[in-house]
Amino acid sequence: MALPICLFLGLLLSSSCEAYKALVVFGMPSNSHFNLGNGVVRNLLKDGHEVTYVTPIEYKNPPPNLRQIDVSSNFNALPSDKINIKILMEAPTPSGHRKFVKMLMINLVRRTLEHENIQRLLNDTNEHFDVVIVEHMFSDLSAGYATIFNCPLIWVSPVEVNSLSMGLVDVLPNPAYTSDALSLYMPPFNFLERLEELWIRITDEYNDYMVYEPLEAAEYERLIVPQIQKRGRQAPPYSKVRYNASLVLGNSHVSIGLPLGLPQNYKSIGGYHIEEEVKPLPEDLEKIMMSAKNGVIYFSMGSNLKSKDWPEEIKRDLLKLFGELKQTVLWKFEEELPNVPKNVHILKWAPQPSILAHPKCVLFITHGGLLSTTETIHYGVPTIAIPVFGDQFINVKKAVTRGFALQVKLSYSLATDLKVAIQEMLHNPKYRQRVKELSYIYHDRPVKPGAELRHWVQHVVNTRGAPHLRSPALLVPLYQRLYLDLIALLLVILRVLYVLLRNLYRRIKSKKIVSNKKDKKN
Ligand SMILES: *[C@@H]1O[C@H](CO)[C@@H](O)[C@H](O)[C@H]1NC(C)=O
Ligand SMILES: *[C@@H]1O[C@H](CO)[C@@H](O)[C@H](O)[C@H]1NC(C)=O
């Protein structure tokens, strides 16, 4: 049924669009990553393709062309106490622990590969895919899925363009103006920031060489290579496999991040996770929002911080602060609270896009996650951001620099600081103007991000891996890129010249001495 429609559309658009089989792997046990994975899956299903989706959270009532592979046990792989709000409030370095994050993510990919359901999929030599699409979270080991099924690999980068994601399909960009995924700085860097970015890059490369690549290569030998051999092929070396992606689909856009020079096979399609049509609000919520005379403030700290972990005094202070406002406050919180003021509504579940899209929504108080930031620009709502971990700090820094957000620190004085920020936001129109400008830039693209995603995946399938898009820089070893061979050659030439000239000089000098002696004798 879907195929004829697809072919018909294909004829109409004069681009070939045969249904293909895609394996989509999003193993991160987190709602926001599930959201991004859904964005990919929903778009592929729309064109009638057959999708196998590896996910820790399953769709209810999946359509017939979607097969789901459950890896919900991945939820046990992340130490949940690390994302506890009390611990985060006292943690001095918000994004440090690079090695910790990296090892955690390698472990997660390994766990996913070892999962019984995945093993069953990999063991079946009749399985066949035309393309493998995998979320990239710090580990390259999942590149092995594409090697097993002998088909093109597409990475999905969930974060802003950064040195790590660019390094998958090109040489590492210059650390003097590109930050790393966990960086806290935004270019132009000052001297110390620039040094730190360089230092991070050098230590990361060193650790990759000494620790991560050997570790991942060992897992590749153990978990991937036997599957390739079972299919009667020889396994390529891991060092080749990890850099063999056809495409990176980046969750980024210039309206949100930086306009960096990207490789041809790096496509910034930030916003594809947002459905093009805004779903209507549930009736009661629509009523609440419509009757808000002074607008609505929407407060959500995302899905990773559990409400039950919030310190009592902060909850109490926040309720008091919200109660004093003229605006209606929608607070996404999974817990009943006592003595909730009249203008405050606690929502256990919040249809975030529909709330942000509502004309009454005047302010979004957020943790500054990239999906929330993208949605806020999509719908043009200014924000107050309380970053908590990971890339939220750099996202918020960018948002503040761009002038549509204020940052408030997560601390025991949260309510006091928030009050100042809310007053500034509500009384100064510049934040709203700025976010509307960025929203214009965000929407002003030749094609919508979902359509762009579908186009590029189809292109990779049709051209069997789009080798014509790959950066030639990947074929050039580091010593050649730095012209170390030329420098070595010049040093040799200089040395030879020096020796020649020195010998010549000595010979002339000794001749002179000899002739001087002769003169004296005469
Ligand atoms: C997959 O195959 C391996 C050996 O080839 C076997 O040890 C394992 O039990 C199989 N797992 C499943 C789930 O079929
Ligand atoms: C790289 O990917 C292409 C398909 O995109 C595949 O034909 C090739 O065998 C892969 N090479 C390695 C070393 O994995």
The rounded distance, in Å, linking the Cα atoms of 456 and 272 is 13
179 lines ligand 2 (CB under 6 A): no
Phi-psi sector, 96: left (phi>0), alpha (psi -120 to 50), beta: beta
Q: Which atom of ligand 2 is nearest to 240's Cα?
A: 13
Question: Lowest-pLDDT range, 6-15, 131-140, 415-424, 491-500?
Answer: 6-15
Atom of ligand 2 nearest to the CA of 153: 5
338-361 as b/e: b if 16+ CB within 10 A = eebeebbbbbeebbbbbbbbbebb
Q: Quick one: pLDDT at residue 1?
A: 44
Mean pLDDT of 282-308: 91
Average pLDDT over residues 470-476: 93
pLDDT of residue 522: 60
Angstrom distance (rounded) from CA 314 to CA 82 = 20
Nearest alpha carbon to residue 453 among 260, 223, 281, 271: 271
Neighbours of 307 (CB within 10 A): 17
C-alpha closest to that of 1 among 64, 51, 43 = 64
* Distance in angstroms (rounded) separating the CA atoms of residues 122 and 145: 9
DSSP E strand boundaries for 360-417 = 361-366, 383-385, 405-407
Residue appearing with tokens 């709203």: 432
pLDDT band at 97 (very low <50, low <70, confident <90, very high): confident
Give the separation between CA 134 and CA 269, rounded to whole angstroms: 15
> Whole-angstrom Cα distance, residue 114 to residue 117?
8
Q: Is the pLDDT of residue 436 over 60?
A: yes
Over residues 417-422, the mean pLDDT reads 97
- Identical fold, 16-274+448-475 and 283-443: yes
Q: For residue 13, how far is its CA from the centre of ligand 2 (angstroms)?
A: 30
User: What's the pLDDT at 409?
Assistant: 93
pLDDT band for position 10 (50/70/90)? Answer: very low
Average pLDDT of 80-85? Answer: 64
Least confident span in 89-93, 287-291, 413-417, 452-456: 89-93
pLDDT in tens, 183-230: 888 899 999 999 999 999 999 999 999 999 999 999 999 999 999 999
Atom of ligand 2 nearest to the CA of 152: 5
Give the residues surrounding ligand 1 with Cβ less than 6 Å away: 116, 119-120, 123
For residue 119, the CA-to-ligand 1 centroid distance in Å is 6
Q: How far, in Å, from the CA of 231 to the mean position of ligand 1? A: 14
> Confidence band (pLDDT; 50, 70, 90) for 239?
very high
Domain locations in the chain as residue ranges: 16-274+448-475, 283-443, 482-512
Pocket probe mutation, ligand 1, options 71, 123, 231, max atoms within 8 Å of Cβ = 123
% the chain with pLDDT above 70: 93
Nearest ligand to the C-alpha atom of residue 243: 2
% of the chain surpassing 90 pLDDT = 79
Whether the predicted pLDDT of 298 surpasses 50: yes
- CB of residue 265 inside a 6 A radius of ligand 2: no
Of all protein residues, the one whose alpha carbon is nearest to atom 14 of ligand 1 is 120
Q: What spacing in Å lies between the alpha carbon of 36 and ligand 2's midpoint?
A: 26
Mark residue 403 as left, alpha or beta (left: phi above 0; alpha: psi -120 to 50; beta: remaining): left
Weakest mean pLDDT among 58-62, 140-144, 224-228, 483-487: 58-62
Query: Is the pLDDT at 127 greater than 80, yes or no?
Result: yes
Instruction: Give yes or no for residue 418 having a pLDDT over 90.
Output: yes
293: Cβ contacts below 8 Å, ≥ 6 apart: 326
Query: Cα of 54 to ligand 2 centre, how many Å?
Result: 22
- Ligand 1, pocket-test mutation among 69, 119, 120, 227, most atoms within 8 A of CB: 119
- 58 alpha carbon to ligand 1 midpoint, in Å? 24
Closest CA to 351 of 281, 271, 276, 297: 281
Higher pLDDT, residue 512 or 240: 240
pLDDT at 181: 79
Nearest-CA residue for ligand 1 atom 1 is 123
**Residue 49 CA to ligand 2 centre (angstroms):** 22
Report which protein residue has its CA nearest ligand 1's atom 13. Answer: 120
338: phi then psi, degrees, rounded to nearest 5: -80, 155
**Residue partners of 444: CB distance under 8 A and separation at least 6:** none
Question: By CB neighbour count within 10 A (0-12 exposed, 13-18 middle, 19+ buried), where does 246 fall?
Answer: buried
Angle at alpha carbon of residue 300, lines to 299 and 301, rounded to 5°: 130
| Amino acid (one-letter) located at 445 | R
Q: Where are the alpha helices (DSSP H) in 274-323?
A: 283-290, 312-323
- What is the average pLDDT value for the chain, to the nearest integer? 92
Ligand nearest to the CA of 230: 1
- Nearest atom in ligand 1 to the alpha carbon of residue 226 is 5
Ligand 1: centre distance to CA 228 (Å) = 14
Can you name the CATH fold of 16-274+448-475? Rossmann fold (3.40.50)
How many CA atoms does the CB half-sphere of 380 hold within 13 Å?
A: 16
Determine the residue of 142, 147, 246 to mutate for testing ligand 2's pocket, defined as the one with the most ligand atoms within 8 A of the Cβ atom.
147
> Tokens 């999962």 identify what position?
115
Contact 273, 371 (CB under 8 A): yes
Distance 224 CA to ligand 2 centre (A): 14
* Sign of the CA dihedral with 394 first, then 400, 404, and 409 last: positive
Residue 448 has pLDDT above 80, yes or no: yes
- 240 Cβ closer than 6 Å to some ligand 2 atom: yes
pLDDT at 96: 53
Out of 73-82, 338-347, 386-395, which region has the weakest mean confidence (pLDDT)?
Answer: 73-82
Element (H, E) at 248: strand 247-250
CA of 246 to the centre of ligand 2 (A): 9
At the topology level, CATH places domain 283-443 in Rossmann fold (3.40.50)
Residues 212, 207: Cα–Cα separation, whole Å: 6
User: From the CA of 376, how far away is ligand 1's center (Å)?
Assistant: 46
